[in-house]
Structure 1
């Protein structure tokens, strides 16, 4: 993507974010999904690779969940990267981060969005996103754990409102679930 296209894309997302914060965006003031939480050892992904990681994880989620390539639909994907201090990531009680690069990815997705095939795709794409975003100098063995949590229908809430799968399908534009939003209109 060219620098101009990136700036236009950032500008479009900023406008959507501003409209969302002001309650004017078509998400009816609701919170967004999926929520993706990534935990990595501190410093594993420096700023230049961190941005690539967050972008690739967002793209992986959109692909697995069949979210269209539109800024307002992609804005529904929230990704949070948490860096854990040395000694806070242990295997069998020992800090192994000098040999292994452990990365935990926890994905909360509305129940009914993923089938078995899309789950396998999600696991593969998230692992690839982490692997492809590693700094060139990284020598440790990458070890990923990707956990997909289905949030039961009616258990997702945003900004004080309970959301159902039909609402979420409308907001995110899930290609395979548009029949749900068509029924509700």
Structure 2
């Protein structure tokens, strides 16, 4: 269920280039998130293009970016849940996006030629993602998207470690918080305010 926002300078992409980028970037973000490009994953993968006017809304060095490199400049914001990928997967995603952009725009993608194209991976904490009216996490997403089952070898220990950190620092567990809320509600009903 990855989301990719491609912010780019107005006029940098034709409709055909957007279609090509969307197709290839969808594969790259799915492989980075769940380890597989599946039909189920594609049905849940979003690529959104946001155009920005370089004359009055895209500034570099404090000035309007009226002389961008060939192909323009791009920002890639990728959103998926914590635990979806290891650093090696993110590094490969950075490289894959660069290859895709360089090929689509017919530009030299080597560093520092495309140093102005930035890729950000934003990881949503477990329990902060919702769909269909329920809270979902990496386990659910990996299953629904038809992800690689071996991904659990990474995210299960990560989720367990996060729970141990919460326990070690005295954060209330989900069960104790739910019981506390229930007790509070019962108390309120037993002793209503006048």
- Return the alpha-carbon distance in structure 2 between the equivalents of residues 121 and 97 of structure 1: 31
Aligned pair partner of 1:177 in 151, 156, 175: 151
Q: Show the counterpart of 1:84.
A: 52
In 2, are the aligned partners of 1:36 and 1:78 still within 8 Å (CA)? yes
Which stretch has the larger CA shift, 56-65 or 76-85? 56-65
In 1, are the aligned partners of 2:34 and 2:85 still within 8 Å (CA)? no
Secondary structure in structure 2 of the residue aligned to 1:63: helix
Structure 1 residue 54 corresponds to structure 2 residue 22: yes
Equivalences for 1:84-103 in 2 at 5 Å? 84-86=52-54, 87-100=56-69, 101-103=72-74
Q: Show the counterpart of 1:145.
A: 118
Q: Show the counterpart of 1:34.
A: 2
TM-score normalised by the chain length of structure 2: 0.67
- What's the CA shift for 1:125? 0.8
Q: Show the counterpart of 1:126.
A: 97
Cα RMSD of the aligned pairs, angstroms, is 2.2
TM-score normalised by the chain length of structure 1: 0.70
- Cα deviation digits, residues 64-100 of structure 1 (max 9, x gap): 2344343122222111111112321111211224233
Secondary structure in structure 1 of the residue aligned to 2:60: coil
Which structure has the larger Rg? 2
In 1, are the aligned partners of 2:28 and 2:93 still within 8 Å (CA)? yes
Q: Show the counterpart of 2:139.
A: 166
The alignment of Structure 1 onto Structure 2 pairs a total of residues equal to 145
**Which runs of no fewer than 5 residues in structure 2 stay unpaired?**
108-112, 157-194
**Which runs of no fewer than 5 residues in structure 1 stay unpaired?**
1-32
